């Protein structure tokens, strides 16, 4: 189109005639309109593709708003946000040492449960949340520790030593 505009000026100028400005302006005007429409269409197509990709992208949820029945994705390095039952994917290696004291990662397969606070060491899988907050394995253990009123032997010994030291310092 650009060459047509140049030829409209150059070729019409032969034999002492004036340049054909009407054809030149018409062709340049068509070029500007074509470029504008192309830009708008490409921009709209790019926005549509971005919206489609955003819709297909995995959504992340804050752990505080998870409820039983939510579907979560567990992958390498993730800390499990809630107790969940593994659903679909490859077997995982899960580090449960913070909860159970086991020093080696445990292999978990689809159908197995994973506990809040565990760390994924290998694999990727989808899981369904089965418990959150105080209803998790960790939450129940924390509640049991918090609800005990019994004084252990070690605490009794420390209290006795502290009392003797206090009496010694006061005399």
Can you give the pLDDT at residue 9? 66
Report the alpha-carbon distance of residue 63 to residue 34 in Å, rounded.
50
Can you give the pLDDT at residue 76? 92
Mark the ranges of the chain whose per-residue pLDDT is less than 50.
none
- What is the reported pTM? 0.53
Distant-in-sequence, close-in-space partners of 112: CB < 8 Å, separation ≥ 6? 85, 86
Residue 63 CA: distances (Å) to CA of 19, 38, 108: 73, 45, 21
CATH of domain 63-139: 2.70.150.10
CB of 129 within 8 A of CB of 101?
no
Residue 156 CA: distances (Å) to CA of 27, 98, 151, 170: 98, 27, 7, 21
Pinpoint the residues of the chain covered by CATH 2.70.150.10: 63-139
Can you give the pLDDT at residue 145? 75
């Amino acid at each position: 189109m650009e060459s047509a505009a140049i030829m409209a000026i150059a070729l019409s100028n032969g034999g002492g005639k004036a340049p054909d400005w009407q054809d030149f302006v018409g062709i340049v005007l068509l070029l500007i309109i074509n470029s504008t429409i192309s830009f708008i269409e490409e921009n709209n197509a790019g926005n549509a593709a971005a919206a489609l990709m955003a819709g297909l992208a995995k959504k992340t949820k804050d752990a505080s708003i998870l409820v039983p029945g939510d579907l979560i994705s567990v992958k390498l390095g993730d800390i499990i946000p809630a107790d969940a039952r593994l659903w679909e994917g490859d077997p995982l290696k899960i580090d449960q040492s913070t909860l159970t004291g086991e020093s080696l990662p445990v292999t978990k397969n689809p159908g197995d449960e994973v506990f809040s606070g565990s760390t994924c060491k290998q694999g990727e899988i989808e899981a369904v949340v089965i418990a959150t907050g105080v209803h998790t394995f960790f939450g129940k253990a924390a509640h049991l520790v918090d609800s005990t009123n019994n004084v252990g032997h070690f605490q009794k010994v420390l209290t006795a030593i502290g009392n003797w030291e206090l009496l010694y310092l006061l005399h």
